[in-house]
Amino acid sequence: MGDIITLLPDHVANQIAAGEVVQRPASVVKELLENAIDAGSDHVQLIIKEAGKQLIQVVDNGKGMSITDARMAFERHATSKIKSASDLFALNTKGFRGEALASIAAVAHVEMLSKTSEDEIGTQIKIAGSEIQEQEPVVAPQGTSISVKNLFFNIPARRNFLKSNTVELRHIIDEFHRVALAHPQIAFTFFQGGHELFDLPVANLRKRIVHIFGSKMDAKLVPVEESTSVSSVSGFVIKPSAAKRTRGQQFFFVNDRFIKSPFMHHAIMNAYDGLLSEGTVPGYFIFFNLDPQTIDINIHPTKTEVKFEDEQSLYAILRSCVKHSLGMFNVAPTLDFDRDPNLDTPYNQVNQIAASPHLEVDSNFNPFKNPDTPRFSKPNETNWESLYVEVESQPIPTVLGDELNVLGDYDSVKLFQLMNRYLVSSIGSALLVIDQQRAHERILYEQFLKTITQKQTASQQLLFPYDLELTSTQQVLLSDLEEVLIEAGFVFEKVGSSSISIKGIPASSSEKEIPNIFENLFASLESDLPSDSFSQSDLLSKSLSKTLSIKRGVPMKSEEQQRLLDDLFACKETQVSPFNRQIFITLTQEELDKKFV
């Protein structure tokens, strides 16, 4: 048998390595921004076209590279930050693998322009698919500019797997946020398609957070600060009242490097125990400062996963300092959750001694002494039938107290509400139990989908416009849904650079529901943004039905119960909700009989 093991060609090996490092345009942005920071820059520009598919350019004013370094930077495993294996456990920089530029150059057209302060002229290098196309001296300012064009031009399958421009741009913005938050001492500008998305001046951490997420964020921040022999913890958490249903504002940093840590997230959730509304998640911007030798960041190509040497201690420290901050800034509730402030002692009586009450009893009082008051009422025997008239016309007694609302009288009971969650009715010889929230979601979903697809817009104008402030990510997401939102009944216009003024909403909604409508909509868009119009209509209809549906725990009047039942069975689909969950179940007499065996 002949030899079958051979070495891969360099260009193939580079493409395989690129699969680990370069997953999408946002991966390139992350690597280039981190290199700019490691170069000692105090101002970094990010320029994007077509969500990074056409162009990703990062320009910095750092120390730049010599002619030799500029060429060596594109070699695999070439790095200035590691001399021995032990250096992996003493890292204070971002990039260190020495694969980023080589991997990027393997799947794109790359042009680099760089110059140091000592050199009179700079160096320009052009590479396509790992092959050097051109290298020549040029006039250039100090620093480095790297342009990545036509990403995945030589791997069409990888390019086809990229999402829509809006989704890819959202991932780029997420990476930009992480880098910009970790380095408030550096100024950043971000341009997309010729439009400026961010202009972040040098600032402290609090101002950097506000510049990124909007002016209203300032009032929501609670500072966190703790220093121990194990670690120092600093940053901010968001007040419980401002917690959202989405997980878009959770940031952990270890030595100014963004990481993902479900374990530490659990510590923060533990600190918020009892303070959050159901289904909400707090936001936070937490910075750990640790000895590099106590962490291992070399366990994943993206370097976002970290192993801690003493994670149990870090968990306890984080939980304790967050809980302390929430209490110190009067965010946590008092010990007496049911305290009525109306029963507090007035200030002018705080130090007074309470006098014992004086009771007077009339020992001669006899309630039966007045002869005009009979001791017992004698029934009217001639009209005894009238005693039962009112009883017969009353509904069935609420055998489950307030948890059972009955529709109809004793002789014609057809529908009732159970535990303010379910509608119960009979169908033939079986019992029908309907989940009221899922049923209403199905009804609203089909109504909204019909309205949008058939352009039967029914909008109600607001008396006063409702201004809604949006983050840059939300603005990007909203831009692709603008047409579908209008078809659903929304009327709005842009106000300034970060707000919209809502002047009309769908007829079936109310003004107080506007924040929840858009919060749930953005939550639905977190994972992906549909590209075709039907999918966008479907997503919006699902989001609106989830927000506006009658929730579990809400009591319903008899006519509301009947209307919900009628509307459900008038739908095209009655079995499952828009989220593919069962709407109702049936219990036959046989199944009920088995319960009593």
The average pLDDT across 59-82 equals 81
How many Å apart are CA 198 and CA 221, to the nearest integer? 21
3: which residues sit within 8 A by CB, 6+ positions away? Answer: none
Task: Return phi, psi of residue 385, to 5°.
Answer: -65, -30
Q: Tell me the pTM.
A: 0.73
Lowest mean pLDDT among 63-77, 370-384, 532-546: 370-384
- Distance CA(538)–CA(540), nearest Å, equals 6
How much is the average pLDDT of 293-312?
74
- Taking a C-beta distance cutoff of 8 angstroms, is the pair 466, 514 a contact? yes
Query: Is 70 exceeded by the pLDDT of residue 261?
Result: yes
Per-residue pLDDT band for 369 (boundaries 50, 70, 90) equals low
pLDDT mean over 19-28: 84
Confidence of residue 355 (pLDDT cuts 50, 70, 90): confident
pLDDT over 70 for what percent of the chain? Answer: 80
Query: Strand pairing partners for 323?
Result: none
Helices (H), 137-164: 156-160
pLDDT at residue 413 greater than cutoff 90: no
User: For residue 432, what are the β-bridge partners?
Assistant: 425, 586
User: Does residue 320 register a pLDDT over 90?
Assistant: yes
Parallel/antiparallel/unpaired status of strands 250-254 and 284-289: parallel
For residue 346, what pLDDT is reported?
60
For residue 401, the model assigns a pLDDT of 40
Mean residue pLDDT across the chain? 83
CATH topology of domain 206-328: Ribosomal Protein S5; domain 2 (3.30.230)
The contacts of residue 587 (CB under 8 Å, 6+ apart) are 430, 431, 433
The candidate with the shortest Cα–Cα distance to 55, out of 17, 28, 36, is: 28
Res 569: pLDDT: 93
Apex CA 344: angle with CA 341 and CA 347, to 5°?
A: 125
Q: Does domain 449-545 have CATH number 2.60.40.10?
A: no
Has residue 368 got a pLDDT over 80? no
Which CATH code is given to the segment(s) 395-437+556-595?
A: 3.30.1540.20
Residues 475-499 have a mean pLDDT of 86
Fold (CATH) for 10-202: Heat Shock Protein 90 (3.30.565)
Which pLDDT tens digit goes with each residue over 208-232?
A: 999 998 888 999 999 999 998 888 9
pLDDT-based confidence at 542, cuts 50/70/90?
Answer: very high
pLDDT score recorded for residue 4: 77
pLDDT of residue 421: 95
Query: In sequence order, what DSSP letters do the residues of 74-101 get, joined into one string?
Result: TSTT--SS-SSGGGGGS--SS--SS-HH
The contacts found for 197-201 with CB under 8 angstroms, 24 or more apart, are 197/173, 197/472, 198/472
C-alpha distances out from residue 437 to 417, 434, 524, Å: 12, 9, 18
Spatial separation of the C-alpha atoms in residues 64 and 62, rounded to whole Å: 6
Question: 336 and 249 in contact (C-beta within 8 Å)?
Answer: no
- Cα–Cα distances (Å) from 326 to 222, 283, 284, in that order, read 7, 13, 12
Under the banding of pLDDT at 50, 70 and 90, the label for residue 298 is low
**Distance from the Cα of residue 505 to its chain's centroid:** 23
Averaged pLDDT, 461-486: 86
Lowest mean pLDDT among 125-139, 152-166, 393-407, 513-527: 393-407
Q: φ, ψ for residue 503 (rounded to 5)?
A: -110, -15
pLDDT, tens digit, 9 for 90 and up, residues 370-396:
655 554 455 555 554 544 444 444 443
pLDDT per residue as tens digits for the range 115-146? 999 999 999 999 998 889 999 999 999 999 99
pLDDT for the residue 202 = 96
pLDDT at residue 350, as a whole number: 58
Mean per-residue pLDDT, 469-473: 82
Domain boundaries along the sequence of the chain: 10-202, 206-328, 395-437+556-595, 449-545
Residue type, 366: N
Q: In the chain, what is the straight-line distance between the N-terminal and C-terminal CA atoms, in Å?
A: 73
Q: Is it the case that residue 91 has pLDDT exceeding 90?
A: no
Cβ contact 517:547 at 8 Å:
yes
Q: What's the number of CA atoms in the CB half-sphere (13 Å) around residue 175?
A: 23
- Reply yes or no on whether the pLDDT at 108 is more than 80: yes
